[in-house]
Amino acid sequence: MITSSIVLYKTAKDELNTVVSSVLDSCISFLYLIDNSPNRELESFVAKFDKKRVFYVFNDRNLGYGAGHNIAIREAIRKNACYHIVLNPDIKFKADAVTKICEYMNQNPNVGQVMPKILYSDGNIQYLCKLLPSPMDLFGRRFIPIKKYKEKRAYKYELHAMGYDKIMEIPVLSGCFMFMRVDVLKKVGGFDERFFMYSEDVDLCRRIGEVSKTMFYPMASVYHGYEKGSYKSWKLLKYHICSAIQYFNKWGWVFDKKRIQRNKECLDALSQKK
């Protein structure tokens, strides 16, 4: 059984229709729509979907991204699901993407999380495989106004050299499409709800990587709208900064031996595959 979840917050109806249609056309058994919006405006729209597969949960307040998904993750554990997929609302995919990843994970029981190739609507690659971040990766690229520095930093941090055409173990996989083994989620405890928004996916992927493999699987692909909200909104920028500070307070700012070790292992593996 495969379950899935999307956290909603004033989500556009056409966007929601697209991602729900992708889910219902696939082998995913259940979809949980967790609504953190200030009102029930989306409830009547969601009612048109198959009620046996799509479940709507209204929270009355904004619990945060990770806390919202944890509601569905607890249901996945209760139902003894094999896999759970965390989806962004701006995702769309063909049914074979889920089937391919499921088959890969069935054949590789030591894999706890998989991310497919993530594409823009025009088919170009989104560079969402990343190393575990240092403070300079998260703050330097944002606030140091030197284009060449940012590009050089991004090239390494986003692993551009891998070509995005090989199956590889990656320290950080994007939160836009997180295909995870439920037994592993049960072991690590789901999202850390102290992260209200941003960095919660990095934190969860890191914890999954401590007990299993986190893999990039380019044989499957999905499409992602990918709007960098924190580059357009001061409020979202504040959330981004606060979450980054929280992340480094948890894992270490400078003295993070596990970050150094896992990043080195990834870069060494990349150099061997060239």
pLDDT tens figures, 175-205? 999 999 999 999 999 999 999 989 999 999 9
pLDDT band, very low/low/confident/very high, at 152 (cuts 50, 70, 90): confident
Mean pLDDT on 252-265: 95
Average pLDDT, the chain: 94
**What does the pLDDT look like over 220-237, one tens digit per residue?**
999 999 765 444 577 888
Q: Which residue has the higher pLDDT, 1 or 151?
A: 1
**What does the pLDDT look like over 86-100, one tens digit per residue?**
999 999 999 999 999
Q: Which residue has the higher pLDDT, 137 or 251?
A: 251
The secondary structure of the chain, three-state, reads CEEEEEEECCCCHHHHHHHHHHHHCCCCCEEEEEECCCCCCCHHHHCCCCCCCEEEEECCCCCCHHHHHHHHHHHHHHCCCCEEEEECCCEECCHHHHHHHHHHHHHCCCEEEEEEEEECCCCCECCCCECCCCHHHHHHHHHCCCHHHHHHHHHHHCCHHHCCCCCEECCECCCCEEEEEHHHHHHHCCCCCCCCCCCHHHHHHHHHHCCCEEEEEEEEEEEECCCCHHHCCHHHHHHHHHHHHHHHHHHCCCCCHHHHHHHHHHHHHHHHHC
> What would the two tokens of residue 100 be?
């391919």
- At 227 the pLDDT is 67
- At 137 the pLDDT is 87
CA of residue 127 relative to chain centroid, distance: 13
- At 230 the pLDDT is 43
Q: Which residue has the higher pLDDT, 60 or 101?
A: 101
CATH topology of domain 2-273: Spore Coat Polysaccharide Biosynthesis Protein SpsA; Chain A (3.90.550)
- At 232 the pLDDT is 54
Would the pLDDT of 257 be above 70? yes
Domain ranges of the chain: 2-273
Would the pLDDT of 254 be above 60? yes
Is 78 within 8 Å of 16 (Cβ atoms)? no
Of the candidates 217, 188, 226, 182, the residue with the CA atom closest to the CA atom of residue 86: 182
- At 141 the pLDDT is 65
Give percent of the chain above pLDDT 90: 84
Whole-model pTM: value is: 0.95
Mean pLDDT on 118-127: 96
> What would the two tokens of residue 200 be?
């919660």
pLDDT band, very low/low/confident/very high, at 142 (cuts 50, 70, 90): low
Give percent of the chain above pLDDT 70: 94
- At 231 the pLDDT is 47
Q: Which residue has the higher pLDDT, 29 or 152?
A: 29
